[in-house]
Structure 1
Amino acid sequence: MKTKYIVAIIGLVMILGSCTKELDLYPKDQVSDGSFWKSPKDFELAANRFYRAFPSHFSHHDSNAESTFGSGPNEVSNGTYVAPDNSGHWDNSYGAIREINYLLAKSEEYANPDEIKTWVGEAYFFRAWQYAGLLTEFGGVPIITKVLDVNSEELNAPRNSREEVADLIIADLQKAISFLPKASEIEGIDLGRISKGAAQAFLSRIALFEGTWAKYHNGTKANERLTIAAQAAKSVIDSGEYELFNSLGTDKSYRKLFIEAGEDSEEVILSRRYVKDINGTHNHTRWLEQNIMNPTRSLVDDYLCTDGLPISDSPLFNGYDTMTSEFENRDPRMAQTVFMVGTEYAWYDTTKIFDKPSLVSPVTRTGYSVYKYLAESLESWSNNSEYDNIIIRYGEVLLNYAEAKYELEGSISDADLDGSVNKLRDRVGMVHLTNAFVGANGLDMQLEIRRERKIELACEGFRFNDLMRWKTAEEEMPKAVKGIKFVGTEYETVFPDLTPGVHFQVDSEGYIVAEPAGDRTFNASKHYLRPLPKKQINLNPNLEQNPGW
Structure 2
Amino acid sequence: MKKLLLSIVVAAGLFGCRKLDQPITREFTETAYWRDAQDALDALTACYEHLSKDDYFFGDEALSDNAYNSGVGLLNVNAVSNGGYDGANGRVVDTWPYYYTTIRRCNTVTTNIDRVPNMDATLKRRILAEARFIRAYAYFQLSAWYGDVPFYTDLISIEQSRTITRTDKNTVQQFVLSELADIQKDLPTNQQQAQNDRGRITRGAAIALSARVHLFRSEWQAVVTDCEQLINKTDNGAYSLFGSYSNLFTVANEYNSEVILDLQYGGARTYDKQRQFMPQTIAALRSVLVPTQDLVNDYIMTNGKAIGEAGSGYDESNPYVNRDPRFEATILHHGSKVTDFSGAVQTILTQPGSIPATNTVDDQGASPTGYYFYKYYDRAATNYSSGLNLILIRYADVLLMYAEAKNELGQMNAAVWNQTIQPLRVRAGFNDAGATQFNTALSKEQLQTVIRRERRAELAFEGLRILDIRRWKTADVVMNRPVRGIKVTSGAFNKDPNGYIIVENRLFTNPRHYLWPVPTIERDQNKNLSQNQDW
Q: Which amino acid aligns with 1:232?
A: D
Describe the shift of the 1:106–1:57 C-alpha distance in structure 2 as closer, same or farther (beyond 3 A). Answer: closer
TM-score when scaled to structure 1?
A: 0.82
Partner of 2:438: 434
Partner of 1:512: 501
Task: Map 1:34-53; keep pairs closer than 5 Å.
Answer: 34-53=31-50
Distance (whole Å) between structure 1 residues aligned to residue 520 and residue 19 of structure 2: 40
Task: Map 1:248-327; keep pairs closer than 5 Å.
Answer: 253-276=244-267, 278-280=268-270, 282-284=272-274, 287-289=277-279, 290-321=286-317, 325-327=318-320
Displacement after TM superposition at 1:168 (Å): 0.8
Q: What fraction of aligned residue pairs are identical, expressed as a percent?
A: 30
Secondary structure, counterpart of 2:501 in structure 1: strand
Q: Which amino acid aligns with 1:210?
A: R
Displacement after TM superposition at 1:236 (Å): 2.2
Describe the shift of the 1:429–1:142 C-alpha distance in structure 2 as closer, same or farther (beyond 3 A). Answer: same
Distance (whole Å) between structure 1 residues aligned to residue 428 and residue 299 of structure 2: 13
CA contact (8 A) 2:333 2:370 kept: no
Partner of 1:136: 144
Partner of 2:6: none
Q: Which amino acid aligns with 2:423?
A: K
Q: Which amino acid aligns with 2:343?
A: T
Secondary structure, counterpart of 1:449 in structure 2: helix
Displacement after TM superposition at 1:281 (Å): 5.1
Bigger mean CA offset, 155-164 vs 338-347: 338-347
Displacement after TM superposition at 1:366 (Å): 1.0
CA contact (8 A) 1:84 1:534 kept: yes
Partner of 1:16: none
Describe the shift of the 1:350–1:12 C-alpha distance in structure 2 as closer, same or farther (beyond 3 A). Answer: closer
Displacement after TM superposition at 1:161 (Å): 1.0
Task: Map 1:103-142; keep pairs closer than 5 Å.
Answer: 103-108=109-114, 113-142=121-150
Q: Over residues 483-528 of structure 1, what are the superposed CA-to-partner deviations in whole Å (9 max), with x where a residue is unaligned?
A: 11112xxxx5xxxxxx2xx3x211222111111xxx4211103110
Q: Over residues 99-145 of structure 1, what are the superposed CA-to-partner deviations in whole Å (9 max), with x where a residue is unaligned?
A: 21121122355665434111101111011011011011100112111
Matched, 1:352 2:345: yes
Partner of 1:69: 68
Displacement after TM superposition at 1:150 (Å): 4.0
Displacement after TM superposition at 1:318 (Å): 3.5
Secondary structure, counterpart of 2:436 in structure 1: coil
* Aligned residues between the structures: 484
Q: Which amino acid aligns with 2:221?
A: T
CA contact (8 A) 1:275 1:281 kept: no
Matched, 1:534 2:520: yes
Matched, 1:95 2:105: no
Q: Which amino acid aligns with 1:68?
A: A
Distance (whole Å) between structure 1 residues aligned to residue 98 and residue 300 of structure 2: 41
Secondary structure, counterpart of 1:126 in structure 2: helix
Displacement after TM superposition at 1:368 (Å): 1.4
Q: Over residues 82-110 of structure 1, what are the superposed CA-to-partner deviations in whole Å (9 max), with x where a residue is unaligned?
A: 12288222122222212211211223556
Distance (whole Å) between structure 2 residues aligned to residue 463 and residue 283 of structure 1: 19
Displacement after TM superposition at 1:270 (Å): 1.8
Q: Equivalent of 2:172, from 162, 165, 174?
A: 165
Secondary structure, counterpart of 1:256 in structure 2: coil
User: Highest CA radius of gyration, 1 or 2?
Assistant: 1
Displacement after TM superposition at 1:319 (Å): 2.4
CA contact (8 A) 1:421 1:433 kept: no
* Structure 1 unmatched ranges of 5 or more: 14-30, 212-224, 247-252, 493-498
Q: Equivalent of 1:469, from 471, 484, 489?
A: 471
Displacement after TM superposition at 1:303 (Å): 1.0
Matched, 1:478 2:476: no
Q: Which amino acid aligns with 2:402?
A: Y
Displacement after TM superposition at 1:77 (Å): 1.2
Displacement after TM superposition at 1:310 (Å): 1.0
Distance (whole Å) between structure 2 residues aligned to residue 157 and residue 88 of structure 1: 19
Partner of 2:7: none
Partner of 1:21: none
Partner of 1:222: none
Matched, 1:388 2:396: no
Q: Over residues 409-430 of structure 1, what are the superposed CA-to-partner deviations in whole Å (9 max), with x where a residue is unaligned?
A: 1341221221112221110232
Distance (whole Å) between structure 1 residues aligned to residue 26 and residue 405 of structure 2: 41
Q: Which amino acid aligns with 2:128?
A: V
Secondary structure, counterpart of 1:269 in structure 2: strand
Secondary structure, counterpart of 1:482 in structure 2: strand
Partner of 1:221: none
CA contact (8 A) 2:19 2:45 kept: no
Partner of 2:283: none
Partner of 2:533: 547
CA contact (8 A) 1:54 1:391 kept: no
Partner of 2:420: 420
Secondary structure, counterpart of 2:372 in structure 1: coil
Describe the shift of the 1:108–1:467 C-alpha distance in structure 2 as closer, same or farther (beyond 3 A). Answer: same
Bigger mean CA offset, 424-433 vs 79-88: 79-88
Matched, 1:368 2:371: yes
CA contact (8 A) 1:7 1:48 kept: no
Q: Over residues 28-73 of structure 1, what are the superposed CA-to-partner deviations in whole Å (9 max), with x where a residue is unaligned?
A: xxx2333332432221111000112244445323111112112358
Matched, 1:145 2:139: no
Distance (whole Å) between structure 2 residues aligned to residue 435 and residue 413 of structure 1: 9
CA contact (8 A) 2:483 2:506 kept: no
Displacement after TM superposition at 1:474 (Å): 1.0
Distance (whole Å) between structure 2 residues aligned to residue 320 and residue 34 of structure 1: 70
CA contact (8 A) 1:484 1:512 kept: yes
CA contact (8 A) 1:340 1:354 kept: no
Q: Equivalent of 1:184, from 188, 191, 212?
A: 191
Distance (whole Å) between structure 2 residues aligned to residue 37 and residue 174 of structure 1: 28
* Structure 2 unmatched ranges of 5 or more: 1-17, 73-77, 280-285, 351-358
Distance (whole Å) between structure 2 residues aligned to residue 351 and residue 533 of structure 1: 47
Matched, 1:338 2:324: no
Describe the shift of the 1:514–1:150 C-alpha distance in structure 2 as closer, same or farther (beyond 3 A). Answer: closer
Matched, 1:84 2:75: no
Secondary structure, counterpart of 2:412 in structure 1: coil
Bigger mean CA offset, 108-117 vs 190-199: 108-117
CA contact (8 A) 2:20 2:48 kept: no
Q: Over residues 444-468 of structure 1, what are the superposed CA-to-partner deviations in whole Å (9 max), with x where a residue is unaligned?
A: 0111111111111111111111111
Matched, 1:449 2:446: no
Secondary structure, counterpart of 2:220 in structure 1: helix
Describe the shift of the 1:351–1:437 C-alpha distance in structure 2 as closer, same or farther (beyond 3 A). Answer: farther
Partner of 2:220: 226
Alpha-carbon RMSD = 2.4
Distance (whole Å) between structure 1 residues aligned to residue 250 and residue 51 of structure 2: 18
Displacement after TM superposition at 1:229 (Å): 2.2
Q: Which amino acid aligns with 1:288?
A: M
